[in-house]
Amino acid sequence: MTCCDRRFQRSSGDSNCRFLQFTWQLLHLATVPQLDRLSRHTQQCGSCRQAYQRTQQVQTMGWGSAVGLLALGVVTEGAVQWACVLGFVLAAGIVGLAAKLKTHFEQTRSRS
């Protein structure tokens, strides 16, 4: 606390500064978790929860296959190498699409 703050508290006669109390209340409100679409609907609805889990599985399997194909493409030569690189690009594209679809389950959309 600075000397100016202490002087303000002494002059106001209030040892509990209302500004500080208000600031702490604002900080508390900022830390309260807001309910998003994932907590409100996706985790409650069985079909949406299952679809959300499937998108997570597709992402995990996609990254695994992309890394595996990339490693295989580095080791091999010729046409197999190009097939592995093409498979890597396709797997990365599928992971990107799954990530985009997954955000539809997580983010709240506003009605226009």
In this predicted model, what pLDDT tens digit does every residue of 27-50 receive, in sequence order? 555 555 555 666 777 777 888 888
Q: How many domains does the chain have?
A: 2
Residue 3: domain span: 1-32
Instruction: Enumerate long-range contacts of 99-107, CB under 8 Å, 24 or more apart.
Output: 99/59, 101/55, 102/52, 102/55, 102/56, 102/59, 105/37, 105/38, 105/42, 105/48, 105/51, 105/52, 105/55, 106/36, 106/37, 106/38, 106/42, 107/36, 107/37
Same-domain check for residues 2 and 21: yes
**Domain contains 111:** no
Same-domain check for residues 42 and 23: no
Q: Which of 8-12, 64-68, 100-104 has the lowest mean pLDDT?
A: 8-12
Same-domain check for residues 26 and 44: no
Q: Which of 3-7, 60-64, 101-105 has the lowest mean pLDDT?
A: 3-7
**Domain contains 11:** yes
**Domain contains 25:** yes
pLDDT tier for residue 94 given thresholds of 50, 70 and 90: very high
Nearest-angstrom CA–CA distance, 61 and 94: 10
Same-domain check for residues 54 and 6: no
